[in-house]
Amino acid sequence: MKRIIIILLVGLLQSCENNKYLIIGMDFTDTCSVTSLETLPVVLEDYGFSVYDTKMGYITGKEEDNNYIQLWNKYTGEKIFGFGSIGRGPNEFLMPLCTDIDYNKNIIYVMDLVKCKMNKYTLLKDTLECIESFEVPQMTAGSLIRFIDDSTFVYRELDGKIPKLVLYNKQDGMISEYEDNILDEESFDNIFSIYQSAISISKKKKKILLLCYELNAISCFSVKNNTIFLDWRKFLIEPKYDISKREFAIDQNKMDKGIIKHLYVTDLFIYLLIYDAKKSDLSVIDFENNLHKLEYSYIIKMSFEGELIKTYKINCVPMYMVNTLDDKAITVLVNYPDFNLLKLKL
């Protein structure tokens, strides 16, 4: 009897080891129908924002030698208004970053990385109205604040050590943290560069989605009783790496199933933008201006349980997907030959 139990335990351990890296499937594809929108004068200068699809129009970042926040008409591409300028006074910024948006309440959050201050605005038809300003922790490169609710946000702490997800309340300070060492390794020196990542939040489901670019991995966390828990983690492909001279190195030949470029969430689903190419296919120098050399890319739709719902093949290679809550269509930003927004009907 004891021998049988030992055999079962060994088999269970082997099974767990084999399933250490759960892989995102791309077993079937559906081609999206693409509807071209009016060409919008999207300008990505300085510390520009991602593009946000709001009820009022498209929000973009700094216009060249002008305002820091722009609102554009969705249908005509005409500029509705520009907001903010350089400086230390009210509605002035030194290094602004639009970190989050509440689509239902028409609220946007703009953080000044230099002043370590968050400004909360209501988006009106012709301007932004400041609701409140408050101090935030000093952010290291690659960190980005996302709000769980009106008073609590999460960010990625990257201080050269094992990265952490930090849950922070604007009145009470740090309330929870999760040390997130994806590879269970601490022996390499370039750990900071490996964990470059992006955070997305589902406020409705209290979920945190973390995209780790270098490892082609996404992780889903829950927030319960002011504590962060890891629900699941998946890789586009099983990570193959080695540590040589204490430096982490990805096996580039193992990137042949694609590269996860972008992630965003709606109230119901997770969406991934995937490039169908090895990293070596594109020049690292001037990478974004070489995207048109690829023939197509994929958008993967997943549930918050990590299940693959659908894979869409699209005949363009966007820089990223526009942030929105629309699950029936996705708008993407392409940059060749000009900056254009394309709407993909799912």
- Pairing of β 92-93 and β 85-86: parallel
Cβ contacts of residue 206 below 8 Å, gap of 6+? 148, 222, 223, 224
Largest CA distance in the chain: 78
Under the banding of pLDDT at 50, 70 and 90, the label for residue 8 is very low
Note whether residue 298 is domain-resident. yes
Note whether residue 124 is domain-resident. yes
Per-residue confidence (pLDDT) for residue 39, from 0 to 100: 53
pLDDT tens-digit readout, 38-63: 555 554 444 456 788 888 888 887 66
Note whether residue 122 is domain-resident. yes
| Look-up of token digits 């945190």 | 208
The token duo for 58 is 């498209």
Per-residue confidence (pLDDT) for residue 160, from 0 to 100: 63
What distance lies between CA 201 and its chain's CA centroid?
A: 9
Per-residue confidence (pLDDT) for residue 193, from 0 to 100: 66
Number of domains in the chain: 1
| Look-up of token digits 């269509």 | 329
- Pairing of β 227-235 and β 22-23: parallel
Percent of residues, the chain, with pLDDT higher than 90: 27
Q: Is 84 left (phi over 0), alpha (psi -120 to 50) or beta?
A: left
Which residue type sits at 269? F
Note whether residue 144 is domain-resident. yes
Residue 232 sits in a domain whose CATH number is: 2.120.10.30
What distance lies between CA 195 and its chain's CA centroid?
A: 13
Length of the chain: 346
Note whether residue 311 is domain-resident. yes
Q: Enter the pTM of the model.
A: 0.86
With vertex at residue 233, the alpha carbon angle to CA 227 and CA 234, rounded to the nearest 5 degrees, is: 160
Q: Is the peptide bond before 163 cis (omega within 30 degrees of 0)?
A: no
The larger pLDDT score, comparing residue 231 to residue 316, is at 231
Domain range enclosing 208? 21-345
The token duo for 222 is 């829950």
Under the banding of pLDDT at 50, 70 and 90, the label for residue 278 is low
Under the banding of pLDDT at 50, 70 and 90, the label for residue 237 is confident
Q: Tell me the C-alpha distance between 178 and 187, whole Å.
A: 20
Note whether residue 5 is domain-resident. no
The token duo for 99 is 């970190």
Note whether residue 13 is domain-resident. no
Q: Tell me the C-alpha distance between 195 and 213, whole Å.
A: 7
Cβ 62 vs Cβ 68: under 8 Å: yes
The larger pLDDT score, comparing residue 149 to residue 27, is at 149
Per-residue confidence (pLDDT) for residue 142, from 0 to 100: 55
Burial of 338 (0-12, 13-18, 19+ CB in 10 A): exposed
Under the banding of pLDDT at 50, 70 and 90, the label for residue 303 is very high
User: Does the pLDDT at position 2 exceed 50?
Assistant: no
Note whether residue 8 is domain-resident. no
pLDDT tens-digit readout, 212-232: 887 889 999 999 999 999 999
